[in-house]
Amino acid sequence: MSGLIPPSLVILSGAGLSAESGVATFRGADGLWEGHRIEDVATPEAFKRQPELVHRFYNLRRAGLKTVEPNAAHHALVRLEREWPGAFVHITQNVDDLNERAGAMKLLHMHGELGKVRCVWCRVVLPWQDDLETTTPCPECGRTGKLRPDIVWFGEMPYYIDEIMRVLEKADVFLCIGTSGVVYPAAGFARLAADHGCQRLIEVNLESTGISNHFTERRHGPATVEVPKLVDELLADVACGKV
């Protein structure tokens, strides 16, 4: 890393970041996928086959967002975003809006957003807070049955991939919070950053994951405890040139 260019920081977050706000994670005992088969609710084929079921699943989750608030980890990451002297990007797999509600600006929703819908006919993407039904007309083209949640489903290409690859290749610090590391391409980001020279890779999780061996530091504990501590450390380290 050059002493003249401030270090660049890339964050990857997953469901563990929002878990303590009350948003269910995907895997594990009470995980979202425990109650549903992925192929029934999170694939383009499921939407063709049973759009009502898919809408019901995402309507419940969209409504659930109104009952949760950002937690100490979301707020700490916004402090990091504001105070980090170099390039900063937060890539999230989460489809909630808790980072934005905490004040995040430099955020890439690689798996889409619950608070948006997309028309598969005219391709318009619109903010959406209410329930979506198969009879809801697209406000842009007027067709019914064409609006879908703006969520990246299994078998679809994640958003912002070119931009994500570019920032990972330049990362000096890579921070990964609350992801099980089983869904690609996100699960491969730590290795990709390391292959391109990233020297400091930090994983925050309740437990070891299948990708823990790609990290130079592992912090085990709840995100609301570990992330604020880590943000203090990183800002202190970068201020005295230790990063």
**Catalytic residue annotation:** 111
Which residue lies nearer to ligand OAD by CB, 138 or 153?
153
The binder of ligand OAD chosen from 77, 152, 171, 176 (CB under 6 A)? 152
Burial class (CB in 10 A: 0-12, 13-18, 19+), 17: buried
Which residue lies nearer to ligand OAD by CB, 109 or 146?
109
d(CA 115, CA 129): 6
> According to the binding rule CB under 6 A, does residue 8 interact with ligand OAD?
no
d(CA 96, CA 41): 17
Which residue lies nearer to ligand OAD by CB, 8 or 74?
74
C-alpha dist (Å) from residue 117 to 51, 79, 98, 193, 241: 14, 30, 18, 32, 44
Q: Supply the minimum distance, in Å, between the C-beta of residue 227 and ligand OAD.
A: 8
> According to the binding rule CB under 6 A, does residue 176 interact with ligand OAD?
no
Q: Are 39 and 54 in contact (CB under 8 A)?
A: no
The binder of ligand OAD chosen from 128, 205, 211, 243 (CB under 6 A)? 205
d(CA 63, CA 22): 13
13-42 residues in contact with ligand OAD (CB under 6 A) are: 14-16, 19-20, 25-27, 31, 42
C-alpha dist (Å) from residue 187 to 47, 62, 145, 153, 193: 26, 25, 34, 16, 11
Q: Supply the minimum distance, in Å, between the C-beta of residue 77 and ligand OAD.
A: 13
What is the edge-to-edge ordering of all strands in the sheet holding 107-109? 107-109, 88-92, 9-13, 173-177, 200-205, 217-220
Which residue lies nearer to ligand OAD by CB, 117 or 138?
117
Per CB under 6 A, which region of 132-140, 178-186, 210-218, 230-238 contacts ligand OAD? Answer: 178-186
Per CB under 6 A, which region of 4-12, 130-138, 191-199, 204-212 contacts ligand OAD? Answer: 204-212
Peptide bond into 6 cis (omega under 30): no
Q: Supply the minimum distance, in Å, between the C-beta of residue 212 and ligand OAD.
A: 10
DSSP state of 176: E
Q: Supply the minimum distance, in Å, between the C-beta of residue 222 and ligand OAD.
A: 4
Which residues sit at the interface with ligand OAD, rule CB under 6 A? 14-16, 19-20, 25-27, 31, 42, 93, 111, 152, 178-180, 183, 204-207, 209, 222-223
